[in-house]
Copies of this chain bind each other. A is one copy, B any other.
Amino acid sequence: MNNTAEKKTDNKITKARKGNLQQILSAAEDIFAKNGYKGTTVSSIANAVGLPKANVLYYFKSKEKLYQEVMNQLLSLWMQHMNEITADSHPKDALPKYIKNKIKQSQNHPNASRIFAAEVLHGAHFLRTSLQQELKDQFQQTCQVFQAWIDKKWIDPIHPEHLLFMLWSSTQAYADHGLQISILMDKEELTETDFEHGITAVTQVILKGCGVKT
């Protein structure tokens, strides 16, 4: 968000800058998601927005900085649905809502999930700090909610951590394994209906599997 010397709220230059900045970030997001960090070249990003690569490296000092910036933009998006599972919510409402939102996000914004999945696969080099802070807080908080539900006998006793892993993996699969799924189902792309069926199936199994009284 900041650069060499950006202090005043001047907006003649800022407008052009912001336009380019956002275009670059958007293209970078797509290409990083598709090819991974090492598999992405700065010039391919530059080509995608019709600029010479020196220009891209002028805005963001390095490839690594650009990558970090992309991840920062995506992190909040990636985590936003978890805090809908609150202590006072009831599993029969909160769980279906979470599953639906998370799968819809896999449908509409697969880049976030894919970039983080690749990060995690390869050691979370650039993401470790965030994982250890924001995400861990959210994680522990959500586990406590699950434990509270168990204590109130709203759901069966299930190891809260593993229940949450199950929720994550089975909803994120629609982004991370989307290509695999579409190949196996013999179609170019998953349709709206496929995602709806996914939501139905996951919700059905999780709700009944947790013993939620409906």
Where the two chains meet, the residues of A that have a C-beta atom closer than 8 Å to any C-beta of B are: 34-39, 114, 117-118, 120-124, 128, 131-132, 135-136, 139, 156, 158-159, 161-163, 165-166, 168-170, 172-174, 176-177, 179-181, 183-186, 197-198, 200-202, 204-211
Distance in Å: Cβ of A78 to nearest Cβ of chain B: 12
Distance in Å: Cβ of A198 to nearest Cβ of chain B: 5
CA of A195 to CA of B159, assembled, Å: 12
Of B136, B186, B206, which one neighbours A184 at CB under 8 angstroms? B136
Main secondary structure of the interface of A (DSSP, over half): helix
B198 touches A204 (CB 8 A): no
B198 touches A209 (CB 8 A): no
Contacts of A159 in B (CB 8 A): 197-198, 200-201
Q: Given A38-B36, A159-B197, verify A131-B180 contact (CB < 8 Å).
A: yes
